[in-house]
């Protein structure tokens, strides 16, 4: 087998080249270098795809929250606070409201909108939206300790 090391630079590093004939074979250094380069490129590409998907999912969820809150406002249903927990593949939203708001007959239309959007989410995403009444059993500490971020409703005059 002919050596695949073609030259040594003045700094002492090796320049590894592809073999010129089929039967020359590949050196171990060449194989390791090719593996590391492919692994690095694959990792960078996969990371880029995940980040772009996450951005798209967050943007889609933000638009959906706006649509839901707009529909609630249209029906005269107010909420007290919104909780969001997100990771690369899952977005969970809790909309908490006073119990009398939760019992509003128009809330059924909001649930229908939520069900429609949960069923049609984009690739690589799980979307969960819950409407909860604020009653004696509601404990915000449990929700926030579970990783949800609290976004209180903006009231007129505040």
pLDDT value of position 156: 58
pLDDT value of position 80: 92
For helices 107-119 and 28-74, give the axis angle rounded to 10 degrees: 160
pLDDT value of position 9: 47
What is the distance between the alpha carbons of residues 93 and 115, in angstroms, rounded to a whole number?
A: 13
117-126 burial, b at 16+ Cβ within 10 Å, e below that, comes to: beeebeeebe
Write out the chain's pLDDT in tens, 158 residues. Answer: 444 444 444 455 555 555 555 556 677 777 777 777 777 777 778 788 888 888 887 888 888 888 888 988 998 899 999 999 988 778 899 999 999 999 988 888 888 888 887 777 666 678 888 999 998 888 999 999 999 999 988 775 54
E strand map for the chain: 5-8, 14-16, 81-86, 90-98, 126-134, 149-152
What is the distance between the alpha carbons of residues 134 and 35, in angstroms, rounded to a whole number?
A: 56
pLDDT value of position 22: 55
pLDDT value of position 51: 83
Say which residue the tokens 């971020």 belong to: 149
DSSP tally for the chain: helices H, then strands E: 4, 6
For the chain, how many residues are written?
Answer: 158
pLDDT value of position 126: 81
What is the distance between the alpha carbons of residues 10 and 13, in angstroms, rounded to a whole number?
A: 8
């Amino acid at each position: 087998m002919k050596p695949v090391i073609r030259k040594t630079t003045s700094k002492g590093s090796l320049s590894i080249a592809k073999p010129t004939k089929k039967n020359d074979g590949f050196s171990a250094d060449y194989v390791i270098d090719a593996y590391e380069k492919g692994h690095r490129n694959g990792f960078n590409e996969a990371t880029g795809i995940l980040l772009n998907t996450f951005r798209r999912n967050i943007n889609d969820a933000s638009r959906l929250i706006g649509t839901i809150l707009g529909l609630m406002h249209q029906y005269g249903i107010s909420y007290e606070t919104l909780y969001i927990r997100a990771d690369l593949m899952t977005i969970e939203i809790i909309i908490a409201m006073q119990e009398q708001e939760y019992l509003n007959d128009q809330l059924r239309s909001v649930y229908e909108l939520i069900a429609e959007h949960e069923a049609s989410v984009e690739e690589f995403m799980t979307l969960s939206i819950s409407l909860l009444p604020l009653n004696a059993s509601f404990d915000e500490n449990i929700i926030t300790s579970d990783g949800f971020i609290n976004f209180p409703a903006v009231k007129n005059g505040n």
